[in-house]
Structure 1
Amino acid sequence: MELQVTYRSELELLTCKSPTSELKYRVFQIYGQKYVKLLNPTGDPEPSTEVFVSNIPRSISVDSLFKFFARCGDIYQIRLLMDFSGCNRGKCFVQYQRVRASREAICCLHDEHIDEEHRIVVKLSLNNNRLILKSIPEWVSEQFVRDVVVRVMGEGLTGIAIKKSRVPYKNYCFCTYRDHQFAIMAHKKSWPFLNVAGMVIDVHWAVPKLLRYSTNLYFTNFSPDLTKKDLFDALIGIIDAKTLVQFRISSKFYGYITFVNYQEMVKAETRLKNNFGLHGRTINFSRVPYAIRNQLQQYSRDYYKHVGPVVLRSAVRATNSLPLFGCYSVANQPSRIPINVPIFMSPVPAISPYPFYNSLRLLPPH
């Protein structure tokens, strides 16, 4: 798509012309953020359309930055983080008008050169409004913790939930705020720690709800000359863009897609598996990284029989046919080792001469 972007600094006005439309943006700065905001929008942008961008050049011009991201779709606004010198801090937020455009930016613009020296990082911006207080002593009453939180970081607070931790004699506390801005202010007030009954309590950002249940689907066997744009367009024809959180091609041979939850991943896998091809190749999909699968196939069943037993955690949880922490020897398997579940090996021997064996996570002795 051919774009003509013109920025007139004396008028603080940016114009973006395409073959189908012409959009005008107002450029202004409020405190430490420079905004490029659409004038007279026809409606509000769709939810979850903002992406976070880092590692941009500190001296990049507004029109160059805008033109780079406008390739994926119509932009609603750009928030560029500034410092006191007048340069940007290497980070910005880009909000599109449509979900598809934001997911295309995550897929196609991540790890791309914005200039000769900078490869940018693009990921979904999450409106996180929750903080977590960790390692609260069990003997401290819940009411006391609530009083301290309300007194020190209570502005915009909408909910407090205190739960038992897996660590013995410890609790943790979730603090929910009205929006992300109130959570930021509360985090600043409690930095670097919060004093509760003379105890130092760390305050961290809680894992966003959107990422707590996210699941990856891995793919391989795509053509080396396949572009990210072609792959994204083909996938979006089958998968709902709203279910995607992240899209990465980690090497020339492997990549993965992150879905919002397990159910959406299963639906996508059913639609894509064994019938999705591009450039004359059928792209393979799996729930296990293909790098691990290929390494497992290099070793015979006799190798695993002599090195040590294999623990199939996923199979145990799925079928309940074996104890949760039991060992299952490959010698008892009539067929070859299943490669569609994660495989971990017990520490026998403690140090193996085989590099692949040492790269696996070792379990404690039984």
Structure 2
Amino acid sequence: MSNDSQAWFDSQNKENKAMLRQWMKNENISLVQVNGQRKYGGPPPGWVGGAPTYGSEVYIRNLPQEIYEDKIIPLLQSAGKLYEFRLMMTFSGLNRGFAYARFTAIHHANLAVYWFNGYEIQPGYKLKVCKSIEKSELQLDAIPGFLDKDTLTRVMCGITADLERLSLFASPKVDGMNLAVIKYRSHTAAAMARKSLCEGTQLLCGCPLTVEWLSYSNKRYLNFGKFLLPHSCYPRSWTLLFK
């Protein structure tokens, strides 16, 4: 166990943390904490094949802050096998009251919602469980007009994975620039792409851009076909753009 993990176990709520540590040892469970969340699985031990399909994840809230995976995971597994469980954590070592659980099959996720929405996990704490809204589309704004759809698709496939579809329109906010809507094969792929793009220089071929989840208003515009055709322009020197 790392020094950071030991310090976490030695802080507040020691009794419940001791039970968690014993459960991890008994069940040979590994948990990884990063970026304010602690994760089990993704994939779990012995998993073969790709990640479960869209619709297999549930969102859980109203968790008592002092309980941990040793109480939550066995409860959820009574509905079906878990592919991944993510518990949001505070710096003080308590959970933030909500979590995400991805099952290996959609019908197990549906069963979890049916069984555990309203389940009293502790006196005074009835869980709220619903299907997770798994976003899989990003919007990139302020795309210069010299990047046409095909070129931009090649560029994005080179720096992100599992891109399914890219659409290009005139930006509704930035005059003379374009907006790209990019759909990925899964929420995980989209989240990784967003993280990668946001952690970089946020430059595309030397041009600044904004990277966000596809907004509700833009999704409505997309569904109703209200976006305008993308702008086109050609710089004087193409060789400077792709060095």
Q: Is the 8 A contact 1:145 1:196 kept in 2?
A: no
- Say if 2:102 is the partner of 1:95: yes
Q: Which runs of 5+ in 1 are unaligned?
A: 1-6, 15-24, 213-366
Counterpart amino acid of residue 211 in structure 2:
V
Aligned pair count reads 190
Matches of 2:50 and 2:146 in 1, distance apart?
A: 45
Matches of 1:44 and 1:188 in 2, distance apart?
A: 21
**Identity percentage of aligned residues:** 19
Query: Deviation of residue 53 (structure 1)?
Result: 1.9
Q: Choose which of 186, 193, 211 in structure 2 pairs with 1:203.
A: 211
* Equivalent in the alignment of 1:164: 169
Distance 1:176 1:44, change over 3 A: closer
Matches of 1:100 and 1:147 in 2, distance apart?
A: 38
- Say if 2:61 is the partner of 1:59: no
Query: Deviation of residue 146 (structure 1)?
Result: 5.4
RMSD over equivalenced CA pairs, Å = 4.8
Q: Choose which of 136, 145, 148 in structure 2 pairs with 1:140.
A: 145
- Say if 2:82 is the partner of 1:76: yes
Q: Choose which of 15, 27, 30 in structure 2 pairs with 1:28.
A: 30
Distance 1:199 1:55, change over 3 A: farther
Bigger relative contact order (CA 8 A; separation at least 6): 2
Distance 1:197 1:154, change over 3 A: closer
Matches of 2:94 and 2:21 in 1, distance apart?
A: 16
Query: Deviation of residue 66 (structure 1)?
Result: 2.9
Distance 1:198 1:97, change over 3 A: closer
Query: Deviation of residue 42 (structure 1)?
Result: 10
Larger gyration radius, structure 1 or structure 2: 1
Q: Choose which of 17, 24, 42 in structure 2 pairs with 1:12.
A: 24
Matches of 2:148 and 2:49 in 1, distance apart?
A: 45
TM-score using structure 2 length:
0.53
Counterpart amino acid of residue 154 in structure 1:
I
Secondary structure class of the residue paired with 1:9:
helix
* Equivalent in the alignment of 2:3: none
TM-score using structure 1 length:
0.38
Distance 1:90 1:111, change over 3 A: same
* Equivalent in the alignment of 1:351: none
Matches of 1:157 and 1:68 in 2, distance apart?
A: 33
Matches of 1:45 and 1:186 in 2, distance apart?
A: 17
Counterpart amino acid of residue 9 in structure 1:
R
Query: Deviation of residue 60 (structure 1)?
Result: 0.7
Secondary structure class of the residue paired with 1:114:
strand
Query: Deviation of residue 178 (structure 1)?
Result: 6.4
Matches of 1:34 and 1:59 in 2, distance apart?
A: 17
Q: Which runs of 5+ in 2 are unaligned?
A: 1-18, 221-243
Distance 1:64 1:162, change over 3 A: closer
